[in-house]
Amino acid sequence: MKWLEKYKRFNKNNDFGIDHRFIEEYGRTVSHLLVAPFRPVIHDAERLPRDGGAIIYSNHSGAGLWDVLSIVHAINDHFRKLGRPDRILRMVSHPNWFNWPIMDQWYAKMGYFPATIENANFLVDKGDLVWWLPEGTVGAWKTCDKKYKLQRFSTGVAVSVSQTGCPLIPAAIIGAEDHHNIIWSSQRLGKQGFPLMVANPVPYPFRVHIFVGEPLEPPLHLRKPDLSRDELKEFAEFARTRLQELIDTSLPKRKLLFPRAARLVDASYKKMVIRNPFGEE
C-alpha cells in the first residue's frame, strides 16, 4: 500500500524536513501550550552534550504523546537558554506518524524523523542529539500495573551506538507514565487500530521530570562496530538494566502534592487491569 510509505519523502536529502524558522516562530509556542499542564523539568542537564552527536534513550508511555512532547520541548528550551537555539533534539518516531495529513508536516518541521538505524546514524554522524525510545509500542501500550517497569528493548539503539561510536546517555522520564492509566492493551489488535483501553482519557497533570544519567560505559567486548546478534541483545539488555536502575533511584525524588491520595488512586487503577485473552505480555 503506497500510502504507508509516504514518510519516505522525509529523508536525508532534506534533513527529514526540519524547519528551524518554523520551530522558532511557531513550534516553541505551540509546544509550550501543549505541555503547560505537565511543566517538564530537567535534572542534571549539564550531562547533555552541547556539541557533537549523541544518543539519549528513555522509558516510554502511551495513550498520548505527552512524554515525547514534554521531552522535545524541555530539551530544546534548555539549549535555547544556553544560547544554542540551533541544537534541536531529533526524536526517533514511528513511521506511521508521518502518514497523517498536516500532522506529518508538523512532526517533520519540529525535528522528528522516521525510525530507522540508517536515519539515526546519519543524524548522529552529522552532530545531532538523537533521542530513542527502545521499548517502542510495547512500552507505549503497557498497562498501568507495569508503570516504570521497562519492557524488552529493541536492538536498534545497540546497533546505532556500535556503528557510530557515539555516547549513549540514559534518561528516566518520571510522571508521564501517570498521565493515562491503560487497563487493557493488545499488540495484535493494535495493528487493526484497536490497541488499548484507557481508564482516564483526559490526562492527569502530573509534572514530568527528566533525570539525565551519566553516559554508559559498556563492557569492553561490546565496544566494537561489528557486534553479533547475541552481542546486540546483550548490549540492549545492558542498556535496559542501567536505565531501570536510574528509574528506580529517580522515582522517590519527585514530590507529589498529595502522595497518599496518588498511591490510592494508582492502586485502584491497577485493580482494573484486564488480562489479555491472547496471552500477550
The C-alpha cell that represents 104 in the structure block: 506529518
Kindly tell me if the per-residue pLDDT of 278 is higher than 60.
no
Say what the pLDDT of residue 54 is: 97
Kindly tell me if the per-residue pLDDT of 85 is higher than 80.
yes
* Domain limits for position 258: 2-271
* Among 10, 174, 204, 190, residue whose Cα is nearest residue 105: 10
Mean pLDDT, rounded, of the chain = 88
The C-alpha cell that represents 250 in the structure block: 529517580
Contact indicator for 115, 160 with CB cutoff of 8 Å: no
Q: What is the mean predicted confidence (pLDDT) over 150-157?
A: 94
How far, in Å, CA of 221 to CA of 223, rounded? 6
What is the CATH number for 244? Answer: 3.40.1130
Name the domain count of the chain: 1
- Indicate whether 276 belongs to any domain: no
Using one digit for the tens of pLDDT, what is the confidence trace for 183-234? Answer: 887 666 555 445 667 888 889 999 999 999 999 999 988 988 889 999 999 9
- Indicate whether 24 belongs to any domain: yes
- Indicate whether 277 belongs to any domain: no
Kindly tell me if the per-residue pLDDT of 103 is higher than 90.
no
